[in-house]
Amino acid sequence: MKIFTYNVNGIRSALTKGLITWMMREKPDVLCLQEIKAQEDQIPVEEFDALGYHCNWFPAEKKGYSGVGILSLQKPDAVYRGMGIDRYDAEGRLIRADFNGLTVVSAYHPSGTTGDERQQFKMEWLEDFFDYAHYLKNERPNLLLAGDYNICHRPIDIHDPVRNANSSGFLPEEREWMEEFLNSGFTDTFRVFNKHPHHYTWWSYRAGSRARNLGWRIDYILSSGNLRNKLLHAWIDPKAVHSDHCPAALELEG
Protein backbone atom coordinates (compact mmCIF):
# COMPACT_ATOMS: atom_id res chain seq x y z
CA MET A 1 0.00 0.00 0.00
CA LYS A 2 1.48 3.33 -1.12
CA ILE A 3 0.53 6.53 0.69
CA PHE A 4 1.63 9.94 -0.59
CA THR A 5 1.34 13.41 0.91
CA TYR A 6 1.58 16.42 -1.37
CA ASN A 7 1.07 20.14 -0.81
CA VAL A 8 -0.04 21.02 -4.34
CA ASN A 9 -0.22 24.81 -3.79
CA GLY A 10 -3.47 24.92 -5.74
CA ILE A 11 -5.10 21.74 -7.06
CA ARG A 12 -6.20 23.42 -10.30
CA SER A 13 -2.71 24.75 -10.93
CA ALA A 14 -1.17 21.33 -10.24
CA LEU A 15 -3.55 19.70 -12.71
CA THR A 16 -2.36 22.04 -15.47
CA LYS A 17 1.23 20.98 -14.68
CA GLY A 18 0.68 17.25 -15.16
CA LEU A 19 -0.55 15.98 -11.80
CA ILE A 20 -2.76 13.34 -13.45
CA THR A 21 0.15 11.97 -15.49
CA TRP A 22 2.20 11.72 -12.29
CA MET A 23 -0.65 9.89 -10.53
CA MET A 24 -0.95 7.45 -13.43
CA ARG A 25 2.76 6.67 -13.09
CA GLU A 26 2.97 6.44 -9.28
CA LYS A 27 -0.45 4.88 -8.65
CA PRO A 28 -0.86 5.99 -5.02
CA ASP A 29 -3.36 3.96 -3.04
CA VAL A 30 -3.96 7.01 -0.88
CA LEU A 31 -3.02 10.59 -1.81
CA CYS A 32 -3.20 13.21 0.92
CA LEU A 33 -3.37 16.75 -0.45
CA GLN A 34 -2.84 20.12 1.19
CA GLU A 35 -3.41 23.68 -0.01
CA ILE A 36 -5.98 22.70 -2.58
CA LYS A 37 -7.06 26.38 -2.72
CA ALA A 38 -10.45 25.57 -4.23
CA GLN A 39 -14.04 24.91 -3.31
CA GLU A 40 -15.41 21.47 -4.15
CA ASP A 41 -17.42 22.75 -7.13
CA GLN A 42 -14.23 24.26 -8.60
CA ILE A 43 -12.30 20.96 -8.70
CA PRO A 44 -12.50 18.93 -11.94
CA VAL A 45 -13.10 15.65 -10.13
CA GLU A 46 -13.86 13.79 -13.34
CA GLU A 47 -10.10 13.55 -13.95
CA PHE A 48 -9.68 11.71 -10.66
CA ASP A 49 -12.83 9.67 -11.19
CA ALA A 50 -11.40 8.40 -14.46
CA LEU A 51 -8.45 6.93 -12.55
CA GLY A 52 -10.76 5.21 -10.08
CA TYR A 53 -10.22 7.51 -7.09
CA HIS A 54 -12.71 8.31 -4.37
CA CYS A 55 -12.34 12.02 -3.62
CA ASN A 56 -12.96 13.63 -0.25
CA TRP A 57 -12.31 17.33 0.26
CA PHE A 58 -12.34 19.83 3.09
CA PRO A 59 -11.90 23.33 1.65
CA ALA A 60 -11.42 26.51 3.65
CA GLU A 61 -14.36 28.88 3.98
CA LYS A 62 -12.19 31.57 2.37
CA LYS A 63 -12.01 31.01 -1.37
CA GLY A 64 -8.60 30.30 -2.87
CA TYR A 65 -7.04 29.53 0.51
CA SER A 66 -5.77 26.45 2.33
CA GLY A 67 -7.93 23.32 2.17
CA VAL A 68 -7.11 19.60 2.28
CA GLY A 69 -8.21 16.39 0.63
CA ILE A 70 -7.77 12.62 0.58
CA LEU A 71 -7.99 10.62 -2.65
CA SER A 72 -8.07 6.85 -2.40
CA LEU A 73 -8.56 3.83 -4.63
CA GLN A 74 -10.46 2.11 -1.82
CA LYS A 75 -13.61 3.81 -0.63
CA PRO A 76 -13.12 4.88 3.01
CA ASP A 77 -15.33 3.35 5.65
CA ALA A 78 -15.73 6.81 7.15
CA VAL A 79 -14.51 10.37 6.53
CA TYR A 80 -14.26 13.12 9.14
CA ARG A 81 -13.68 16.75 8.27
CA GLY A 82 -11.98 19.02 10.77
CA MET A 83 -10.65 18.75 14.27
CA GLY A 84 -13.82 19.99 15.94
CA ILE A 85 -12.35 23.44 16.67
CA ASP A 86 -14.10 26.15 14.67
CA ARG A 87 -11.20 28.53 14.07
CA TYR A 88 -9.07 25.74 12.57
CA ASP A 89 -11.89 24.03 10.72
CA ALA A 90 -12.87 27.31 9.02
CA GLU A 91 -9.45 27.19 7.38
CA GLY A 92 -9.90 23.62 6.10
CA ARG A 93 -6.81 22.23 7.80
CA LEU A 94 -7.55 18.57 8.51
CA ILE A 95 -9.41 15.62 7.03
CA ARG A 96 -9.40 12.02 8.23
CA ALA A 97 -10.29 8.79 6.42
CA ASP A 98 -10.69 5.33 7.96
CA PHE A 99 -9.91 2.21 5.91
CA ASN A 100 -10.71 -0.98 7.82
CA GLY A 101 -8.18 -0.84 10.68
CA LEU A 102 -6.08 1.98 9.20
CA THR A 103 -6.69 5.70 9.72
CA VAL A 104 -5.05 8.33 7.51
CA VAL A 105 -5.05 12.05 8.30
CA SER A 106 -4.16 14.81 5.84
CA ALA A 107 -3.27 18.01 7.70
CA TYR A 108 -2.07 21.43 6.63
CA HIS A 109 -0.38 22.99 9.62
CA PRO A 110 -0.40 26.79 9.77
CA SER A 111 2.57 28.89 8.73
CA GLY A 112 3.84 31.64 10.99
CA THR A 113 5.80 33.50 8.34
CA THR A 114 3.39 36.45 8.06
CA GLY A 115 3.92 37.74 11.58
CA ASP A 116 3.52 37.28 15.32
CA GLU A 117 -0.26 36.81 15.24
CA ARG A 118 -0.10 33.86 12.86
CA GLN A 119 2.92 32.42 14.68
CA GLN A 120 0.87 32.44 17.87
CA PHE A 121 -2.00 30.81 15.98
CA LYS A 122 0.43 28.15 14.76
CA MET A 123 1.70 27.38 18.25
CA GLU A 124 -1.84 27.08 19.58
CA TRP A 125 -2.73 24.78 16.68
CA LEU A 126 0.28 22.59 17.46
CA GLU A 127 -0.81 22.22 21.07
CA ASP A 128 -4.34 21.29 20.04
CA PHE A 129 -3.12 18.97 17.27
CA PHE A 130 -0.98 17.15 19.84
CA ASP A 131 -4.06 16.48 21.95
CA TYR A 132 -6.16 15.52 18.91
CA ALA A 133 -3.54 13.09 17.59
CA HIS A 134 -3.21 11.30 20.92
CA TYR A 135 -6.95 11.06 21.40
CA LEU A 136 -7.24 9.65 17.89
CA LYS A 137 -4.36 7.20 18.42
CA ASN A 138 -6.13 5.77 21.44
CA GLU A 139 -9.27 5.29 19.37
CA ARG A 140 -7.56 4.23 16.12
CA PRO A 141 -4.11 2.81 16.98
CA ASN A 142 -3.08 2.16 13.35
CA LEU A 143 -2.63 5.81 12.46
CA LEU A 144 -0.80 7.81 9.79
CA LEU A 145 -0.54 11.57 10.18
CA ALA A 146 0.41 12.96 6.77
CA GLY A 147 0.78 16.54 5.70
CA ASP A 148 2.64 19.81 5.52
CA TYR A 149 3.80 20.44 9.09
CA ASN A 150 5.59 23.70 8.23
CA ILE A 151 8.42 22.64 10.58
CA CYS A 152 11.95 21.38 9.92
CA HIS A 153 12.69 19.02 12.76
CA ARG A 154 16.49 19.08 12.83
CA PRO A 155 19.38 20.92 11.14
CA ILE A 156 19.65 18.03 8.67
CA ASP A 157 16.18 18.98 7.41
CA ILE A 158 17.04 22.50 6.22
CA HIS A 159 19.68 23.77 3.82
CA ASP A 160 20.95 26.61 6.05
CA PRO A 161 20.18 25.99 9.73
CA VAL A 162 22.40 28.84 10.94
CA ARG A 163 20.81 31.67 8.96
CA ASN A 164 17.33 30.27 9.52
CA ALA A 165 17.70 29.82 13.28
CA ASN A 166 15.13 32.56 13.89
CA SER A 167 12.85 31.76 10.94
CA SER A 168 9.32 30.46 11.41
CA GLY A 169 9.44 26.80 10.55
CA PHE A 170 12.78 26.31 12.28
CA LEU A 171 12.23 28.12 15.56
CA PRO A 172 13.46 26.36 18.71
CA GLU A 173 9.93 26.08 20.11
CA GLU A 174 8.64 24.51 16.87
CA ARG A 175 11.47 22.00 16.74
CA GLU A 176 10.96 21.17 20.42
CA TRP A 177 7.29 20.52 19.69
CA MET A 178 8.23 18.13 16.89
CA GLU A 179 10.73 16.34 19.10
CA GLU A 180 8.18 15.95 21.88
CA PHE A 181 5.53 14.79 19.42
CA LEU A 182 7.77 12.10 17.95
CA ASN A 183 8.90 10.98 21.38
CA SER A 184 5.26 10.61 22.43
CA GLY A 185 4.66 7.64 20.14
CA PHE A 186 5.04 8.65 16.49
CA THR A 187 7.68 7.83 13.88
CA ASP A 188 9.09 10.07 11.15
CA THR A 189 8.83 7.40 8.46
CA PHE A 190 11.28 9.01 6.03
CA ARG A 191 14.07 9.01 8.61
CA VAL A 192 13.57 5.30 9.29
CA PHE A 193 14.98 4.63 5.82
CA ASN A 194 17.11 7.69 5.06
CA LYS A 195 19.48 9.36 7.53
CA HIS A 196 21.26 11.55 4.98
CA PRO A 197 21.12 15.35 4.50
CA HIS A 198 19.95 17.36 1.47
CA HIS A 199 16.52 15.76 1.18
CA TYR A 200 13.82 18.43 1.09
CA THR A 201 10.14 18.79 0.23
CA TRP A 202 9.82 22.57 -0.25
CA TRP A 203 11.85 25.20 -2.05
CA SER A 204 11.29 28.93 -2.34
CA TYR A 205 10.45 30.16 -5.82
CA ARG A 206 13.15 32.79 -5.38
CA ALA A 207 16.78 32.74 -6.51
CA GLY A 208 16.68 29.35 -8.22
CA SER A 209 16.34 27.60 -4.86
CA ARG A 210 15.01 24.35 -6.26
CA ALA A 211 17.66 24.01 -8.95
CA ARG A 212 20.32 24.59 -6.27
CA ASN A 213 18.48 22.30 -3.79
CA LEU A 214 18.23 25.03 -1.14
CA GLY A 215 15.20 23.54 0.52
CA TRP A 216 13.33 22.61 3.67
CA ARG A 217 11.87 19.23 4.64
CA ILE A 218 8.51 20.22 6.08
CA ASP A 219 6.20 17.52 4.68
CA TYR A 220 5.96 14.28 6.66
CA ILE A 221 4.13 11.01 7.03
CA LEU A 222 4.25 10.14 10.71
CA SER A 223 3.15 6.70 11.85
CA SER A 224 1.92 5.44 15.19
CA GLY A 225 3.99 2.85 17.01
CA ASN A 226 1.54 0.12 16.07
CA LEU A 227 2.59 0.45 12.43
CA ARG A 228 6.35 0.49 13.01
CA ASN A 229 6.86 -3.10 11.86
CA LYS A 230 4.73 -2.59 8.75
CA LEU A 231 6.87 0.18 7.25
CA LEU A 232 8.47 -1.10 4.04
CA HIS A 233 9.94 1.99 2.41
CA ALA A 234 9.68 5.79 2.53
CA TRP A 235 10.96 8.35 0.07
CA ILE A 236 10.69 11.87 -1.32
CA ASP A 237 10.04 12.60 -5.01
CA PRO A 238 11.75 15.91 -5.92
CA LYS A 239 11.22 15.24 -9.63
CA ALA A 240 7.50 15.94 -9.18
CA VAL A 241 7.28 19.63 -10.07
CA HIS A 242 3.58 20.50 -9.88
CA SER A 243 4.12 22.79 -6.87
CA ASP A 244 6.79 24.52 -4.79
CA HIS A 245 6.58 21.35 -2.66
CA CYS A 246 7.21 17.77 -3.74
CA PRO A 247 5.53 14.57 -2.51
CA ALA A 248 6.65 12.44 0.40
CA ALA A 249 5.67 8.78 0.27
CA LEU A 250 5.40 5.66 2.36
CA GLU A 251 4.98 2.02 1.39
CA LEU A 252 3.12 0.08 4.06
CA GLU A 253 2.62 -3.65 4.39
CA GLY A 254 -0.90 -4.94 4.05
Assess contact for 114 and 121: CB atoms under 8 A.
no
Catalytic residue among 148, 157, 188, 219: 148
Does residue 157 carry a catalytic annotation? no
Residues contacting residue 136 through CB under 8 Å, at least 6 positions apart: 96, 103, 105, 143
Task: Give tens-digit pLDDT for 26-83.
Answer: 999 999 999 999 999 999 999 999 999 999 999 999 999 999 999 999 999 999 999 9
* Domain span including residue 79: 2-252
Strands 2-7 vs 30-34: parallel, antiparallel or unpaired: parallel
Taking the C-alpha atoms of residue 134 and residue 140, their distance in angstroms, rounded to an integer, is: 10
Per-residue pLDDT band for 144 (boundaries 50, 70, 90) equals very high
Residue 239 phi, psi dihedral angles, 5° rounding: -80, -10
Measured between alpha carbons, how far is 15 from 19 in angstroms, rounded to an integer?
5
Q: What is the pLDDT of residues 179-203, one digit of tens each?
A: 999 999 999 999 999 999 999 999 9
C-alpha distances (whole Å) from 191 to each of 130, 185, 217, 222, 235 are 20, 15, 11, 10, 9
d(CA 246, CA 232): 20
Q: Helix (H, G, I), strand (E, B), or coil: what is residue 130?
A: helix
- pTM more than 0.75: yes
Instruction: Assign residue 177 the CATH number of its domain.
Output: 3.60.10.10
Sheet hosting strand 143-148, strand order edge to edge:
78-81, 94-99, 102-108, 143-148, 219-224, 186-188
State residue 207's pLDDT score: 86
Number of domains in the chain: 1
